[in-house]
């Protein structure tokens, strides 16, 4: 395939992928499978890389580019004002009265729409291409997070329809409730602090320095305003939303034009009842004068527009009895106190349990069994105990005190310096074993087909295994008596376990379930240490010398391998024949030994991956950012900021020809 044919094919793939994104995220009518979508994206990325095709507005940008050290400030051409809040019918009627008083007539309507509880952002399009994405900031200026927002699949990178040469829109980035719960579960598995609510997790994700990490977060987007310079006295908020939807932007389906404040209030009450059934979090309703021609006359205060207001829903609460406090053991040993409640109806569901987070939180709120407590769904999702109703009641039990031993295995609990959580560090603790086994067999770890939660539960209940090392001792005849486990399926499972011995070292490290060690860190550890033995004996200084490893991860890795029970399990895995050595490609030479390269721009004949492979084949290494430790910058066309930084640090800058000369013969 020549470059012209590659360019044509790339355009076809981009068109297919953008249409598929819109069908899935905006229209909820997917027309290709996930596998077909992934194959198209993979083919496009390969073509762009191999032939040096422009990728600025390509769907491949949604996987995220290189990290940035800071976000530049951008001025908003039109101030992003926040909305004044109301909390009851009387305040909403006051707003209506003020609008009537200023305009002196009733020749207007109200546009009513749900208020999303996320992060407000601004998007700018020029000639149908996304050129800027920014946070709201202080309303006058915000942070340029364009590369991060390009990873959000709801946001079109380009628009093929007839659109103005320049326009801006505003919208809300958010997370759906189920996605937020899964994100927190994943963070808890990695030993990280869960996010308090979807709003915080969305805002925090958008300000991450690495767009590749942002791409892994389940961020969605709704557009709620369109800004066009051309004046149109017939333009309404409703017509703008219809226009945005036609251009391919997602807009909220819960939108209504009301002719009076009474109709507005009726809509507000209906949506208050509806909110518990929505897949995303909403904290109220936005009411705007629908006709844009009245905005200038209505004006604004220094903080709020006078033509719009937000009605905030009250958080739904209920009072019930806290019957007892139980302890829950997580996969990595975290002990979470749980309030066992007398069942109570809250936000459309029956709540029986609520997290009490940790010992400090219980003592701060002085929560004790038998108390009447106020329960609220934090962010309409997670039940939590707000406060005690009757702290002065007679015969209250003593204040809560965390036990010294694990409730599941009886081992002594530990609290690490600087943390609020107590942990059980026994790798053979039954609840941990169950979760660790499921993690060990998962697709991103050892990928043992057929070893799901139900089978793990059976194996544990029958006493066939106690740790993940025991899996490699299982025989077919032991499995056949299990429920729904015939001779063929038993044989398939034994073969799947045996095949897992061939998994790479980085997958094995990830499968061990070391706290703070996710997939990316596992790959970096495997690439650096090459063997499990080297990793086991690594010291703190060597660990923190790896780019992705900080002090917390280093301490966690050292603590894991210092534990005799963990070491015994790892030794059993090695004895079972697992691959404890990183497979390496034999170098062609050592001409670039110990030399660190950074790549930037488009090279004449090689892709970046090909150049990186060439450097590594001759003993060199590559990094994503320029620093004083960089030996060479390999630069092609349109090199960007790395080129400027390299010149400032007097780092030698090579062309592709000069690199080839270094490794000649």
Q: Catalytic positions, please?
A: 115
Helix H segments across 275-376? 295-298, 359-365
Q: DSSP letter for 530, please.
A: -
d(CA 280, CA 278): 5
CA gap 327, 335 in Å, rounded = 6
Contact 142, 74 (CB under 8 A): yes
DSSP state at residue 549: -
Structure tokens of 150?
């390009």
Strand order in 85-86's β-sheet? Answer: 85-86, 308-312, 282-289, 110-116, 255-258
Kind plus residue range of the DSSP H or E element containing 332: none
What tokens were used for 203? 């805002």
Q: Which long-range contacts (CB under 8 A, 24 or more apart) does 24-28 make?
A: 24/153, 25/153, 25/154, 25/220, 25/250, 26/154, 26/245, 26/248, 26/249, 26/250
The token pair that represents 461 in the structure block: 């209940």
Rounded CA gap, 650 and 638, in Å? 19
* Cβ neighbourhood burial of 612 (10 Å; 0-12, 13-18, 19+): middle
β-strands 85-86, 73-75 pairing = unpaired
CA angle 442, 448, 449 (to 5 degrees): 100
Instruction: Determine the Cα–Cα distance for residues 584 and 582; give it in Å rounded to an integer.
Output: 6
SS (HEC) of 477-495: HHHCCCCCCCHHHHHHHHH
Q: How does 527-545 read in b/e, with b if 16+ C-beta sit within 10 Å? A: ebbbebebbbebeeeebee
Per the document, the length of the chain is 665
CA 73 to each of CA 140, 173, 431: distance values in angstroms, whole numbers, following the listed order: 10, 19, 48
Angle at 216 (CA atoms; ends 215, 219), nearest 5 degrees: 70
| Residue 333 backbone class (left: φ over 0; alpha: ψ -120 to 50; beta: rest) | left
Return d(Cα 364, Cα 356) in angstroms, integer.
11
Residue 158 β-bridge partners: 129
């Amino acid at each position: 395939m020549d470059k012209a044919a590659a360019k044509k094919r790339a355009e076809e793939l981009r068109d297919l992928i953008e249409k598929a994104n819109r069908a899935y995220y905006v229209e909820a009518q997917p027309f290709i499978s996930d596998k077909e979508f992934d194959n198209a994206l993979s083919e496009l990325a390969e073509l762009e890389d191999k032939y040096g095709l422009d990728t600025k507005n390509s769907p491949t940008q949604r996987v995220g580019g290189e990290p940035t050290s800071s976000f530049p400030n951008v001025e908003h051409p039109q101030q992003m004002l926040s909305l004044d809040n109301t909390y009851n019918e009387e305040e909403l009627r006051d707003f209506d009265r003020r609008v009537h008083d200023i305009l002196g007539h009733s020749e207007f309507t109200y546009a009513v729409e749900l208020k999303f509880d996320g992060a407000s952002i601004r998007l700018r399009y020029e000639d149908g291409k996304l050129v800027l994405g920014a946070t709201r900031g202080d309303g006058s200026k915000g942070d340029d997070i364009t590369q991060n927002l390009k990873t959000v699949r709801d946001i079109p990178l380009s628009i093929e329809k007839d659109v103005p040469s320049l326009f801006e829109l505003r919208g809300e980035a958010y997370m759906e409730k189920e996605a937020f719960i899964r994100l927190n579960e994943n963070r808890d598995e990695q030993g990280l602090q869960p996010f308090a609510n979807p709003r915080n997790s969305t805002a925090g994700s958008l300000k991450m320095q690495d767009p590749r990490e942002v791409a892994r977060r389940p961020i969605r987007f709704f557009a709620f305003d369109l800004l066009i310079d051309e004046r149109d006295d017939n333009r309404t908020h409703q017509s703008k939303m219809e226009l945005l939807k036609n251009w391919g932007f997602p807009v909220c389906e819960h939108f209504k034009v009301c002719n009076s404040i009474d109709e507005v209030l009726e809509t507000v009450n209906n949506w208050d009842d509806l909110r518990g059934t929505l897949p995303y979090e909403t904290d109220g309703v936005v009411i705007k004068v629908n006709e844009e021609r009245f905005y200038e006359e209505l004006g604004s205060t220094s903080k709020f527009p006078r033509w719009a207001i937000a009605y905030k829903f009250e958080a739904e609460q209920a009072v019930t009895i806290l019957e007892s406090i139980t302890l829950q053991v997580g996969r990595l040993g975290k002990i979470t106190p749980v309030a066992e409640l007398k069942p109570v109806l809250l936000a459309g569901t029956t709540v029986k349990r609520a997290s009490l987070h940790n010992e400090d939180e219980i003592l701060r709120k002085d929560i004790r069994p038998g108390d009447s407590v106020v329960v609220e769904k934090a962010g309409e999702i997670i039940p939590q105990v707000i406060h005690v109703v009757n702290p002065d009641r007679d015969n209250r039990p003593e204040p809560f005190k965390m036990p010294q031993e694990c409730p599941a295995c009886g081992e002594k609990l530990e609290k690490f310096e600087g943390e609020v959580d107590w942990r059980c560090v026994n790798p053979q603790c039954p609840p941990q074993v169950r979760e660790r086994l499921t993690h060990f067999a998962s697709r991103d770890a050892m990928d043992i087909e057929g070893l799901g939660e139900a089978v793990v539960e059976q194996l544990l209940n029958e006493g066939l295994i106690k740790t993940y090392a025991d899996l490699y001792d299982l025989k077919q005849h032991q499995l056949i008596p299990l429920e729904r486990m015939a001779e063929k399926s038993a044989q398939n499972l034994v073969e799947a376990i045996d095949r897992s011995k061939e998994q790479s070292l980085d997958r094995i490290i990830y499968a061990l379930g070391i706290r703070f060690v996710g997939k990316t860190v596992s790959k970096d550890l495997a690439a650096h240490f090459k063997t499990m033995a080297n990793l086991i004996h690594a010291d703190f200084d060597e660990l923190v010398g790896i780019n992705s490893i900080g002090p917390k991860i280093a301490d966690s890795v050292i603590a894991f391998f210092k534990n005799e029970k963990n070491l015994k399990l790892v030794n059993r895995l090695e004895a079972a024949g697992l691959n404890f050595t990183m497979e390496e490609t034999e170098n062609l030479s050592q001409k670039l030994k110990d030399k660190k390269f950074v790549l930037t721009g488009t090279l004449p004949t090689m892709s970046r991956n090909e150049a990186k492979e060439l450097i590594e084949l001759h003993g060199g290494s590559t990094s994503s950012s320029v620093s004083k430790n960089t030996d060479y910058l390999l630069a092609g066309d349109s090199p960007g900021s790395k080129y400027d930084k390299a010149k400032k640090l007097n780092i030698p800058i090579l062309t592709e020809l000069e690199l080839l000369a270094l490794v000649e013969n």
